[in-house]
Amino acid sequence: MKIGLITDSVSRLPFDQALDLARELALSSVEVATGNWSESPHADLPTLKSSALARSEFQDLVVGRGLEISALNANGNQLHPVSGARHDQVVRDSITVAGELGVPTVVLMSGLPAAGGGDSTPNWITSAWPPENLDVLDYQWKEVAVPYWRELAKFAADNGVRLAVEPCGNQLVHNVATMQRLLNEVDNEAVGTNLDPSHLMWMGADIPTVVQALGSSIYHVHAKDIRVELPHARQNGMLDTTPLDQPRARAWNYVTLGLGHAQGATFWADFVYQLRAVGYDGTLNIEHEDTLVSSSEGVRRAAKLLGDVVLTETPDWSPARI
């Protein structure tokens, strides 16, 4: 298992300095955002797509520091009824560039459609009541998501790239059940899971159970924590529309590893062990989204915590045959 860095975590640093930080912290890889919901400060996707020289220089910056690129990240809403086509183009260009670079994975979200054909706003259904909600879900899955994802999976497979879908709130795929539905509907090994436990934490899921349920479908992992702010959570529950930059008023916040939901290293040691148990031996990419901690300090603390618990060597012990 390896530790990596999502370079958007330190988006204020130039790309070379972000890579220098990863090398300084003895990390193994980086994940680079290519657009959509990221300003993509470290990758010029159109240039990377059109220029073999640009791709070579981009790769050399990484490899020259003893790092590798574990994934490109194209998080957005390619099923949006208005802007979806633009987001989809970023996704497809990212897949193309990943294939050219030999990057194995593109991380993205499932997308979220509108409630019906004439709507212009995505609609996240979180309850079976009132009954029309089930009609909306039926439309979103059967009419929009499944045809799109079957075709996208083929496109990714043709480019030799895996798609790691990140279950997340306000997305059609937001938990284990919806992730498994997508996998069953698409039925293509090019599609798997990007597990970011923080999203499932605030929805109340038990992360070891999540890991066991997703098993071999886990293609990529983000390391990010949350902190439950009990006075607000006890009063209002965990569904919260308070802006992320107002942490004192929210029911939960994304926080630096070890400072929130899973204080200390115990949770993360168990997380690593559960991943090993289901056969995952890839990268744990640090993602910093803590509004109260500087990005550099947050990344350093996360790297230290994970460095103490990550399993890096191949297991070799077996019971004696007596």
What CATH number corresponds to the domain at position 31? 3.20.20.150
At 100, is the secondary structure helix, strand, or coil?
helix
d(CA 84, CA 122): 10
- Confidence at residue 261, expressed as pLDDT on a 0 to 100 scale: 72
CA distance to 53, 147, 162, 165, 304, per residue, from 276 (Å): 38, 33, 20, 20, 20
In a domain, 317, yes or no: no
Retrieve residue 55's tokens: 């791709």
DSSP code of residue 146: H
Domain count for the chain, please give it. 1
Rounded distance, CA 55 to CA 97, Å?
A: 8
Instruction: Please report the pLDDT score of residue 262 as a whole number.
Output: 60
The DSSP annotation for 189-211 comes to TTEEEEE-HHHHHHTT--HHHHH
Domain carrying residue 139? 2-309
Task: List, for residues 244-266, the tens digit of each pLDDT value.
Answer: 999 999 999 999 998 987 667 89
Statement: the pTM of the whole predicted model exceeds 0.75: yes
Q: Tell me, rounded to whole angstroms, the distance of Cα 8 from its chain centroid.
A: 12
Q: Is residue 174 domain-resident?
A: yes
Percent of the chain with pLDDT over 70: 99
Q: How far apart are CA 116 and CA 26, in angstroms?
A: 49
Give per-residue pLDDT as tens, 112-134.
Answer: 999 999 999 999 999 999 999 99
Any domain includes 319: no
Domain annotation covers residue 139: yes
pLDDT digits (tens, 9 = 90+) for 48-100: 999 999 999 999 999 999 999 999 999 999 999 999 999 999 999 999 999 99
The rounded mean pLDDT for the chain is: 97
Domain assignment present for 320 = no
pLDDT at 309: 95
In a domain, 239, yes or no: yes
